[in-house]
Chain A
Amino acid sequence: MKRSQMLLGLAMAVTLGQPALAEYPEKPIEMIVAFAPGGGTDVAARSIAMFMEKHLGNGASIAVINKPGAGGEIGWTALSTAEPDGYTIGMINPPSFVALAVEGKAKYTMEDFQPIGNIVLDPGILVVGKDSPYETLPALVEASKAAPGAIVVGTSGAAGSSEHIGILNLNRSAGTSFTPAFFGSTAPVRQALLGGHIPAATMNLSEALPLVRSGDIRLLGVMSPERSAYLPDAPTFKEQGFELIVTASRGLAAPAGTPPEMVEKLQAALKAAMEDPEYLKTAQEAEIPLAYLDAPAYRALIDQITGELAETWKVTPWR
């Protein structure tokens, strides 16, 4: 692989005389990942990068650069201030990516980014243990109303994560008073739920599929507008009468000001990569909830999330 890249590099050097844009990309593209190597976002980034290289053509190479820290803020700030020359792109994870800007903590705003496309939409879910007395979502909601603050909901995030904001929104709209408990990552919250140490928990759908199917945990509601293809039997919050939509997205963005032709080329490569049979097969086996959105649609989604979060922040600040 290295050798072929070197040969391609030589070939590129020979044709350097022609207009620059036709050759894009003519050097390695850096993809900033705001999380450490080995995490879910990192693996997703490395997989999509591999297939995007293939579909960008021109001997393109995409190097994944991990800039972890501060819940993603370091990496996203680096992306927002990068040179908009098309050679720096990055993975973004709304809504936490948006929440940092809404609460005014981050140095970037949504205007600093040019979305390229969405890759994954993973809805949040509310689950209880298999021996839980609560069979349905309304039953759990009633129990919470009857005993204010007594029902603890474990979340895999920290204070201010999308799941935490989801619980706050539910408390506000349904009149419940769930107490959030912050476990920091998915593994411990899953363990605490399975071991019966907490009555209920929120997590992302894709993380819970096998445990829900095996009956070890009971899914009370999916926080998406429609049911998931991977679990068609699981009811949404909406159809049970609760307006709650929390969806974790993973997508690509470039710094604002990146030439539109390049964004278009990247968007096309992303689309082609996500339609690549080999990629699709792997993603389906891993049951990754792929959802391609093009740049305008992704921008619209981010704007919508921003609006909702800004509203929540005014009423119930999460920090």
Chain B
Amino acid sequence: MALISSPSRRQGELGFATVLLAVAGFCFATAGDYPGASGTYPKVLSVLLGCGAVLMLLRAWRQTGDDSRAPLVVNLGRCLLGFATLALYILAIDLLGYILPSFVLVVSLPLLLGYRDLRLAFMAAIGGLSFILLVFAVILERPMPADLFDPVLEMLR
């Protein structure tokens, strides 16, 4: 986990302000294509955002001290694991539907984080999923993502 270390807070501030500055520039340039007042308003906003980002850059640049050197992310490894899990989960919903990925997520994520009470995770997964299916699919008849278990769901409706 310690192979990659988190950027410092100061680096974070500088990086984020740069991104915002770029976004502001992009929004300003794109707004040039919009006619009349449709373009003026976003242009003004882009300029404001750009100015704010420049001020932030200056402020972060001059900033020193312990606070600015503190790491931005407490545990970068687990943070990345979190986002990777979320990304995988969403991709899996797209491919396999909601039910199976959801079940796997609730059971496996605690395991990955070193939690060994499988029984509780299992029960939480079953409980949460059946509640969601009951409310969304059965009572309110909301459509669900195309699912492996679609035939089973149809029986429930």
Contacts and interface: CB of A to CB of B under 8 A. Distances in A.
A118 interface: no
A83 B5 CA distance: 51
Question: What's the interface size class on B, roughly?
Answer: under 10
Interface stretch (A1-9, A103-111, A196-204, A287-295): A1-9
The 7 closest A-B pairs by CB, nearest first: A65-B143, A63-B141, A28-B154, A27-B154, A9-B155, A6-B155, A28-B157
B155 A63 contact: no
B45 to A, nearest CB: 21
Contacts of B154: 9, 27-28
Interface in B103-157: 138, 141, 143, 154-155, 157
A5 B138 CA distance: 13
Contacts of A6: 155
Contacts, number: 16
Contact of B157 (A5, A30, A65): A5
A64 B143 CA distance: 9
Contacts of B157: 2, 5, 28, 61, 63
Interface in A176-198: none
Contacts of A65: 143
Question: What's the interface size class on A, roughly?
Answer: 10 to 19
Nearest to A27: B154
Interface string A1-24: 010011001000000000000000
Contacts of B141: 63-64
Nearest to B139: A2
Contacts of A5: 157
A28 B143 CA distance: 12
Contacts of B138: 2
Interface in A48-90: 61, 63-65
A313 to B, nearest CB: 19
A25 B139 CA distance: 22
A6 B152 CA distance: 12
B139 to A, nearest CB: 10
Given A2-B138, A9-B155, A30-B143, 5 more contacts: A9-B154, A28-B157, A61-B157, A63-B143, A63-B157
12 contacts: A2-B138, A2-B157, A6-B155, A9-B154, A9-B155, A27-B154, A28-B157, A30-B143, A61-B157, A63-B157, A64-B141, A65-B143
A5 B157 CA distance: 8
A65 B143 CA distance: 7
Nearest to A5: B157
A61 B154 CA distance: 11
Interface string A26-43: 011010000000000000
B157 to A, nearest CB: 7
B91 to A, nearest CB: 22
A13 to B, nearest CB: 10
Contacts of A63: 141, 143, 157
Interface in B73-110: none
A63 B143 CA distance: 8
Contacts of B155: 6, 9
Contacts of A27: 154
Interface in A139-182: none
